[in-house]
Amino acid sequence: MTEQGRENASVGDFPAEVDAVVCGGGPGGSTFATLMARMGHRTVVFEREKFPRFHIGESLLPWNMPLFDRIGVLSKLEASGPQVKRGARFYHQGSSFTRLVSFANGIDSDHPSSFQVKRADFDALLLDHARESGAAVFEEARVTEVLFTADGKRARGVKVLLKGENEPRTVEAKVVVDATGRDALLSRHLGGRTRDPLLDRSSAFTHYDTFRRAEGPTGGDIVIVTTPDGWWWLIPFSDGSVSVGVVMPSRRFKERKGTVEQLFEESVLAVPEVRELLEGSKRTMDVQAIADYSYRAARVSGDGFCLVGDAASFLDPVFSTGVLLAMQSAEIAASSVDRALRRKGRVDAADFKSFERTFRGANRRFERFVHGFYEPHVLETFYTPAPNAWIGRGVTTMLGGGVFHPTFGARLGIFAFHLSTVFIRVLQAIRGRGAFERATGILEPEKTP
């Protein structure tokens, strides 16, 4: 951390006015703050918690790698010794269906790998990098209110309560960025959030000390097991431990008999593929849960403000999209804000049009695959060998995170995949769904004779 970073973050030098206030110090907030500070703008980050702190979402995508390089943190991340992730292994419970994904086989071979990280350390590294880049960072500082002009249209600053103080302080700003994740500070004042009824899922997760990982380079790949009512993830770390989680319909949580921990343990025993991978391992933390977590904000930008990452929308994490969407949206937003401030000294809603269009477009591309992952015909198509190499390469490119500015080849491959799902749907209607009969993620009652 630079001396300037330490000085900026001291209470005695609390800023009364800055160019940008960032609410939240996660990957999206840290990325925005790093870029803004590096471009010479006075930037302050207010983070409610004290880092490092636990957070879920440990599997990163290959398209994160050039972004890490652009913000100057890649060498620091590599030096921390993360687990290299070269692909993903998908298995369907109780069947011979498998799908092995190697990112090097994508249409863009410049993105062959990524990392698995423990988010507490990863997020702290990004926030420290924002400090070292010149942003003032205040941890254990809770933004209590975003201030607007008298007409209620333009954000003009925030009120923030520092640890140990009883009255909030006021900071004036030319732009306010909501990077508060699922807390979604601003969306509550901008029409709220809309839950996705097709993705009414909840998750239970924990860490184990070890598991049966594959031999060789693929040992660092994420393992996903699809089941009749959801799916599992197993994310290996470089120290040999593993993050394990299950996603299932939210009503399974609501109707459970017993604790979330009991539900989790019973679910492990019910899935042979997961049970065998965890044989002989021990849990190293309590089981935690996240409920009803797919949504989108009604608005993501306006005069003097924008929302990035999970504050704007959150998708079912089946394709590990969270960190990429947060950081990439923050980078695009920072570029928009920088251009506006240099040109006219303020940021208007019109300045975020390109940001909003690009961000929503990337979300839609991921969202279509996420929705499809709970449809029997799409899931069977995913597990079926592609009739053309370009289809498989296009899907691999999407799985690697190439959704913000996909090439024509990637778009063509993805289109061909979605076209193939129509054929599989017809085939299932004729001969039945087979192994994927209940792959919608909703537990259907057993049929009685």
Structure pTM?
0.92
String of DSSP letters for 322-364: HHHHHHHHHHHHHHHHHHHHHHHSS--GGGGHHHHHHHHHHHH
Contact between 35 and 71 under an 8 Å Cβ cutoff? The reply is yes
**What does the alpha-carbon distance between residue 323 and residue 334 come to, in Å, rounded to a whole number?**
16
Q: What is the DSSP letter of 11?
A: G
Contact between 194 and 298 under an 8 Å Cβ cutoff? The reply is yes
pLDDT of residue 90: 95
Contact between 341 and 19 under an 8 Å Cβ cutoff? The reply is yes
Strand partners for 171? 158
pLDDT of residue 11: 60
Please state the separation of Cα 174 from the chain's center in Å. 27
Q: What are phi and psi of 20, to 5 degrees?
A: -140, 130
**What does the alpha-carbon distance between residue 11 and residue 137 come to, in Å, rounded to a whole number?**
11
**What does the alpha-carbon distance between residue 162 and residue 62 come to, in Å, rounded to a whole number?**
37
CATH 3.40.50.1100 applies to domain 85-116+197-290: no
Q: Among candidates 329, 266, 273, which has minimal Cα distance to 301?
A: 329
- Spatial neighbors of 426 by CB under 8 A, at least 6 apart, are none
Query: One-letter amino acid identity for 404?
Result: F
Structural domain 3-72+119-194+296-363, CATH architecture:
3-Layer(bba) Sandwich (3.50)
Contact between 320 and 403 under an 8 Å Cβ cutoff? The reply is no
3-state secondary structure of 44: strand
**What is the domain partition of the chain in residue ranges?**
3-72+119-194+296-363, 85-116+197-290, 368-436
Contact between 54 and 207 under an 8 Å Cβ cutoff? The reply is no
Angle, in degrees to the nearest 10, between helices 322-344 and 27-38:
30
pLDDT of residue 6: 38
Contact between 379 and 422 under an 8 Å Cβ cutoff? The reply is no
pLDDT in tens, 195-237: 888 788 889 999 999 999 999 999 999 999 998 888 999 999 9
| Cβ burial, residue 310 (10 Å; 0-12/13-18/19+) | buried
Q: How far is CA 402 from CA 196, 223, 444, in A?
A: 23, 20, 35
pLDDT of residue 7: 41
Element (H, E) at 395: helix 389-399
- Pinpoint the alpha helices (H) of 400-445: 408-431
**What does the alpha-carbon distance between residue 30 and residue 330 come to, in Å, rounded to a whole number?**
9
For the chain, 449 residues long, give each residue's pLDDT as a single digit of tens: 433 343 445 566 789 999 999 999 999 999 999 999 999 999 999 999 999 998 888 999 999 999 999 999 999 999 999 999 999 999 999 889 999 999 999 987 788 999 999 999 999 999 999 999 999 999 999 999 999 999 989 999 999 999 999 999 999 999 999 999 888 889 877 877 888 887 888 899 999 999 999 999 999 999 999 988 889 999 999 999 999 999 988 888 888 889 999 999 999 999 999 999 999 999 999 999 987 668 888 889 999 999 999 999 888 888 899 999 999 999 999 999 999 999 999 999 999 999 999 999 999 999 999 888 888 999 999 999 988 898 999 999 999 999 898 889 999 999 999 999 999 999 999 998 888 876 544 433 334 33
pLDDT in tens, 28-87: 999 999 999 999 999 999 999 999 998 888 999 999 999 999 999 999 999 999 999 999
pLDDT of residue 442: 41
